[in-house]
Amino acid sequence: MYSREREELFINLNPLQTAGRTRASVRKAVTRYVDGYSVCDACAGILHDITKPPIKSLVDDLAEFLNVDVARTTAGAREAKFMVMHSECSPGDILVLDSNAHYSTYVAATRAGLEVVEAPAGPPPFFHITAAAYAETLEQVKTRTGKPAALALLTHVDGDYGNLTDAAAVAQACHEAGTPLLLNTAYTTGRMPVDVRAIGADYVACSCHKSWGACGPIGVVGAIGERAEHLFRLDARYPKKNIELLGCTARGSNIMSLMEALPLVKERVKHWDEELENARWFAARMEAIGKGGIKLLGDNPTNHDLMRFATPLLHEIGQGQRKKGYYLHKELTDRGITGLKPGQTQWFKMSTYGLTRSQVEYLAQAFEEIASM
């Protein structure tokens, strides 16, 4: 089970955790603002306008960092996605998304009453999402319904394969089809540089407990131009209150932890090339260890720290072990490595985010030992 102590002693490979680890200053902010309405003392009616603590500066910084016109905090990326769908579409409208999209994207679409049409991923082992697939799907929707799809969503990097899709090309296809684009960056912003305006997306959703090292649940939603005005429209009766944000969202510890995390995030995205180099080095080593019995799925070479390996070799080894499939988890635990699902040996997902090169080398060595059992 999770504990901070264990987290700090072990090398954790769980892709949900690696970029969500909090730094000491973030944890300090969490403790200081732990009582529910702690940031509301100086509120004159708008959470995101509070200057003490500097929440207004935070949301301005977020907009600048993402390069959008307006950014606001949310309870998470899924809430950001629902917000955009609910604001941009009406029940019965069509949402075009990539078939690698996270389940929460589908559930948000169900909640918003949308019909989902998938831009299909390419064949295994790459499962690539392309702008051509979006263009074709958007065209099919137009032919069938006589109008553009109400909204498109692209999972910038997906959680199954860690594939990085050419978001700018997808944005262009969407604009040519007359459909706005929401970019789900749960696995990108906070880890790697993302310029939403340069990409040409209209909306962005971020997960700050997944990829920004903040205490969650907390996310960010951003929008550009008139889309921002509409998304953040105000209530007629309470003209200070955002309708889609229900007035205000993340308060207290969560938003204060993001305030502390943001400077660290701004710095760390500059070192994305090192993260990528680590991941690629590790993946190449794993494939070499396996001699065909360990295979990286998705982009190869990978473009992200989240990697999915097909591991028939490790599965086969398990057949001869007393603990069967559970041997892998045990062997890793014995070596101070955690985060893989117990019993899973045919494939697994993992992330090298935040590990030093020597930790990654140690990791490769561990798998090497296990592969030769």
Taking CB under 8 A as the criterion, the residue among 11, 30, 228, 363 binding its own copies is: 30
Secondary structure class of 39 (helix, strand, coil): helix
CB atoms within 10 A of CB 123: 8
Cα–Cα dist 320/242, whole Å: 60
Task: Candidates 30-38, 117-125, 193-201, 286-294: pick the segment binding its own copies (CB under 8 A).
Answer: 30-38
Residues facing 151 on adjacent strands:
95
Provide CB contacts within 8 A for 87, sequence distance 6+. 230, 231, 233, 244
Q: Is 20 in the site for its own copies (CB under 8 A)?
A: yes
Q: Are 81 and 205 in contact (CB under 8 A)?
A: yes
Residue 61 makes contact with its own copies by CB under 8 A: no
Q: State the minimum distance, in angstroms, from the CB of residue 143 to its own copies.
A: 25
Q: How many other C-beta atoms can be found within 10 angstroms of the C-beta atom of residue 333? A: 13
Residue 41 as a binder of its own copies (CB under 8 A): the answer is: yes
Nearest to 289 by CA among 189, 209, 367: 367
Residues 6 or more apart whose Cβ sits within 8 Å of residue 248: 46, 47, 48, 241, 242
By the 10 Å C-beta count (0-12 exposed, 13-18 middle, 19+ buried), 103 is classed as exposed
Q: Which member of 25, 57, 110, 346 binds its own copies (CB under 8 A)?
A: 110
Minimal distance in Å, beta carbon 349 to its own copies? 13
Binding characters for its own copies, 217-246, by CB under 8 A (x = yes):
x-----------------xxxx--xxxx-x
The DSSP output letter for 48 is G
In whole angstroms, the minimum distance from the beta carbon of 135 to its own copies comes to: 25
Q: Which is nearer to its own copies, 41 or 267 (CB)?
A: 41
Smaller CB distance to its own copies: residue 229 or 235?
A: 235
Whichever of 74 and 130 has its CB closer to its own copies, that residue is 74
Closer by beta carbon to its own copies, 208 or else 313: 208
24 binds its own copies (CB under 8 A): no
**Is residue 193 close enough to count as binding its own copies by CB under 8 A?**
no
Tell me the angle at which helices 131-145 and 167-177 cross, rounded to the nearest 10 degrees. Answer: 20
Backbone angles phi, psi at 201, to 5 degrees: -75, 160
Residue 222, SS3 per DSSP: strand
Q: Rule CB under 8 A: is residue 3 a binding residue for its own copies? A: yes
- Closest CB 226 distance from its own copies, rounded Å: 20
Residues forming the site for its own copies (CB under 8 A): 1-4, 7, 14, 16-17, 20-22, 26-27, 30-42, 52-53, 75, 78-79, 82, 86, 103-104, 106-108, 110-111, 208-210, 214-217, 235-238, 241-244, 246-247, 249-254, 257
